[in-house]
Amino acid sequence: MVSRPSLETATASDPDHFVEPLELGKRVKEIRLTKGWTLEEVSKRTGIARSTLSKIENDQVSPSFAIVQKLIGGLGMDLPQLFVEAQEHSMAGRRDITRYGEGEPHPTATYEHELLSYSISRKKMVPFKTIVRARNFSEFKEWVRHDGEEFLLVLSGSVVFYSEFYEPVELNEGDSVYYDATMGHIVVSLSPEDAQILWVVAR
């Protein structure tokens, strides 16, 4: 038999377009073994030949997208799961306390932010308390706008919440609003003292 080049060889011969192999095979095998399935069982579930599955697990082929889709169906997982590294979540069993007034300060011209739980990175939410210095819509050059969703709770004082597609609305102590942060949004104080709010952002 004429030996065919292995995947590795083929890839190495084309270094310009080498991409992190993503260890697809390893990942698939891992999932299969976790569920205690044999190649034959996965073959029945997916309609992919046993031999093909073996090659995929050993990185002897670069499966076509059609095959990858069958795999996903058969292994009962969604696409991101297959590729995104089995990232043990960074929060595992952790907690982070922030005492009153001891957050990380982030002052700006219009807002005075105090970042809470700043010692844990890579978390799903970012909570911060903000003293709203701004009194006027015009103090902002532009709508504030960013990815994700935002929750706002008025802790003290009262504010006006401006948002791109809605009329401005007054919010008093204890009122809250949940909104799409890609929509322009701006908050100004209405009370004599600067209002204080809690903000939580999630991407």
Choose which of 17, 86, 138, 141 interacts with its own copies (CB under 8 A).
17
Choose which of 15, 19, 20, 66 interacts with DNA (CB under 7 A).
66
Give the DSSP H or E segment for 182: none
Helix axes 50-57, 39-46, angle to 10 degrees: 110
> Looking only at residues 23 through 42 of this chain, which bind its own copies when binding is defined by CB under 8 A?
24
Q: Which is nearer to its own copies, 79 or 109 (CB)?
A: 79
* CA–CA distance, 171 with 144 (Å, rounded to integer): 18
Choose which of 183, 190, 191, 194 interacts with its own copies (CB under 8 A).
183
* CA–CA distance, 17 with 19 (Å, rounded to integer): 6
Count CA atoms closer than 13 A to 19's CA, side-chain side. Answer: 4
Residue 122 binding result from DNA, its own copies, none, given CB thresholds of 5 to 8 Å by partner type: none
> Looking only at residues 2 through 61 of this chain, which bind DNA when binding is defined by CB under 7 A?
4-5, 7, 10, 38-40, 47-52, 54-58, 60-61
